[in-house]
């Protein structure tokens, strides 16, 4: 969690940059880094940054796709007709129905029926949330088209 002074610098950068057009998260982070005095950074922030950095790499490696060499090595008796099921599937699956930062994962080849069910539940929840968000985006698009506006600010701002 960011300390208050560091969060304020970040929010100013975010607000300023977003008023100038589309932004990239990394650009906001870099501006915050360049504008925040060194005393705003603590050992906790440094540790959290290192943990986040490592988590990104762990997540990347866990998402590595199963190769047929891997599958055949650990599942040597798998029939040829099942090979296609493994193509493009990750080496690990999430087994927390809610997902999230501290969710548990299991090797795909070791997942139990209950763990597969939890993975399906998670994917259903993500799909529902994505569809809901898509529908809201469509509502905003329709609102802009109906109002002949270029942005919500143009439609409802001063």
55 and 94 housed in the same domain: no
What residues make up the domain containing 97? 86-158
Q: What is the pLDDT of residues 44-57, one digit of tens each?
A: 888 888 898 999 99
> Quick check: is 28 in a domain?
yes
User: Where are the extended beta strands (E) located within 37-85?
Assistant: none
Q: What is the pLDDT of residues 71-85, one digit of tens each?
A: 999 999 999 999 999
Write down the pLDDT at residue 37.
92
Q: What is the pLDDT of residues 128-153, one digit of tens each?
A: 999 999 999 999 999 999 999 999 99
44 and 104 housed in the same domain: no
> Quick check: is 73 in a domain?
no
Domain total of the chain: 2
101 and 157 housed in the same domain: yes
> Quick check: is 70 in a domain?
no
Q: Rounded to whole angstroms, how far apart are CA atoms 18 and 61?
A: 33
Which sign, positive or negative, has the C-alpha torsion 32, 38, 43, 46? Answer: positive
**In the structure, what pLDDT confidence band is assigned to residue 2 with cuts at 50, 70 and 90?**
confident
47 and 1 housed in the same domain: yes
Is the entire prediction scored with pTM above 0.85?
no
52 and 110 housed in the same domain: no
> Quick check: is 15 in a domain?
yes
Q: Which residue has the higher pLDDT, 102 or 10?
A: 10
> Quick check: is 127 in a domain?
yes
pLDDT at residue 1 is higher than 70: no
1 and 58 housed in the same domain: yes
Write down the pLDDT at residue 108.
95
State the CB neighbour count (10 A cutoff) for residue 25: 8
Write down the pLDDT at residue 17.
95
150 and 94 housed in the same domain: yes
91 and 150 housed in the same domain: yes
> Quick check: is 79 in a domain?
no
Q: What is the pLDDT of residues 97-123, one digit of tens each?
A: 787 878 999 999 999 999 999 999 999
> Quick check: is 80 in a domain?
no
Q: Which helix (H) or strand (E) holds 94?
A: strand 92-94
């Amino acid at each position: 969690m960011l300390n208050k002074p560091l969060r304020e610098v970040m929010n100013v950068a975010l607000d300023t940059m977003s008023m100038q057009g589309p932004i990239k998260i990394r650009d906001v982070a870099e501006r915050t880094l360049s504008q925040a005095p060194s005393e705003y950074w603590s050992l906790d922030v440094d540790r959290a940054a290192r943990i986040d950095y490592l988590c990104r790499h762990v997540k990347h490696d866990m998402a590595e796709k199963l190769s047929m060499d891997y599958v055949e090595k650990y599942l040597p008796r798998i029939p040829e007709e099942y090979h296609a099921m493994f193509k493009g599937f990750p080496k690990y699956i999430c087994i927390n129905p809610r997902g999230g930062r501290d969710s548990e994962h299991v090797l795909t080849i070791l997942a139990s029926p209950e763990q597969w069910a939890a993975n399906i539940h998670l994917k259903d929840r993500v799909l529902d949330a994505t569809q809901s968000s898509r529908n809201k985006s469509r509502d905003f698009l329709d609102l802009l088209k109906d109002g002949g506006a270029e942005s919500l600010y143009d439609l409802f701002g001063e």
